[in-house]
Amino acid sequence: MEAVTDPAAHVVAGSVLHAGRLITRIENGHAEARAALRELAPHCGKAQLIGVTGPPGAGKSTLVAALIRELRGQGRTVGVIAVDPSSPFSGGALLGDRDRMLEASSGDRGVFIRSIASRGASGGLAAAVNDAVDVLDAMGKDIVIVETVGVGQGEFDIAKIAHTVVLVLVPGYGDSLQAMKAGITEIADVVVVNKGDTPGAEQTAKELAAQGFERTGPPGTKPWQVPVLRASALRDEGVAELVAAVDEHYEFTGSTQWRAAGERARRHAQFVAFVGDRLREELLAPAGAALDDELLADPYGAAERYVQALLSAHRRMATRPRIGTEPGLEKS
Ligand code: GDP
């Protein structure tokens, strides 16, 4: 592949080609993605981030396609990151569902859709998604939607990325209703009972709404009353109302310290991932090479001794490093 000279500038200029390439590098954990991400940072922080989550088959992809149509109709540009948790070995299982989404956007320069899989590098899926969101944000997309299956799958927590989490559910009763309630309590800012064209949707939405779910934010902020909506993604019904509810939540959290606290947490997660990557590069590879004999005899002991040696060297430093002041942290 030819060398990309300044991918960040191309991304900021809206290049789909360069944005796609950069996300591939992010997925693969390429160190060169980091330099571009640093260049992009001043262009980030403008997009409204929406998480769309829910069980498989709830109609998330269909709903995202409908959301894209609605948002485009409002003149807003949209980026979508579809998080694909399938391993490369079972890969592709979910891609068929995305056809409708792609159809909704074909030929529209205001829409950019990418699926992203767990990257090989140590940073993990959450870090890759966070970085990919930044790419679409820097491209100038007004809205970035992150679509992901299920609730709280391991390390990946959509609530730590999105400003607003939309939980997509389907009509149900009994145990499934109990499971829905648990899911809402855990994660949802806005609930949508999809497949509103099928029997039981109205009843389910009513029962859930009667619970009066609330989310509590940082101390001193008012709680948010979680709205429970009904929609039919297939028939494009209730989608404008969903967008209105998401916007209301965004305004609500923005009017307090709530949204700012979430954004700080997201930036902190990126900081930690970045530091982790860099430390691994700088400290681990040389250590592994130097300690060869010791490793063979006792890898755990060697690891502990190595960390203790690093920590004591660190403690000997008179002052804590201050970000941005010491050499090596300035932009290279
Ligand atoms: P995902 O796995 O959550 O992304 O779900 P999909 O978007 O792939 O939808 C799963 C199935 O539900 C598909 O067969 C869709 O056609 C269907 N579906 C999605 N939305 C609706 C809806 O509003 N009403 C009905 N009746 N079916 C829907």
Average pLDDT of the residues in 269-289: 81
Most confident of 110-119, 201-210, 289-298: 201-210
Distance, CA of 261 to CA of 268 (rounded, Å): 10
Compute, in angstroms, the gap from residue 150 CA to the centroid of ligand 1: 15
Which range among 1-15, 131-145, 185-199 shows the weakest confidence by mean pLDDT? 1-15
Q: Please report the beta strands in the chain, taking only residues with DSSP state E, as ranges in sequence order.
A: 48-54, 78-84, 111-117, 143-149, 164-169, 190-193, 214-215, 224-225, 228-230
127, pLDDT greater than 50: yes
Distance, CA of 126 to CA of 118 (rounded, Å): 8
By alpha-carbon position, which residue is closest to atom 5 of ligand 1? Answer: 59
Distances in whole angstroms, Cα of residue 25 to Cα of each of 32, 64, 116, 119, 252:
7, 25, 11, 9, 36
Which residues, at least 6 apart from 93, have a Cβ–Cβ distance to it below 8 Å? 86
Among 52, 60, 61, 62, say which to mutate for ligand 1: greatest number of ligand atoms within 8 Å of CB: 62
Compute, in angstroms, the gap from residue 290 CA to the centroid of ligand 1: 55
Q: What is the pLDDT of residue 151?
A: 52
pTM of the predicted protein model: 0.85
pLDDT digits (tens, 9 = 90+) for 202-242: 999 999 999 999 998 888 888 999 999 999 999 999 999 99
Q: Give the domain ranges of the chain.
A: 43-256, 266-319
Average pLDDT of the residues in 127-151: 91
3-state DSSP call for residue 172?
Answer: coil
298, pLDDT greater than 80: yes
Distance, CA of 144 to CA of 147 (rounded, Å): 10
pLDDT digits (tens, 9 = 90+) for 260-275: 999 998 999 889 888 8
Tokens encoding 6: 């300044």
By alpha-carbon position, which residue is closest to atom 19 of ligand 1? Answer: 59
Instruction: Output the CATH code of domain 43-256.
Output: 3.40.50.300
Compute, in angstroms, the gap from residue 234 CA to the centroid of ligand 1: 7
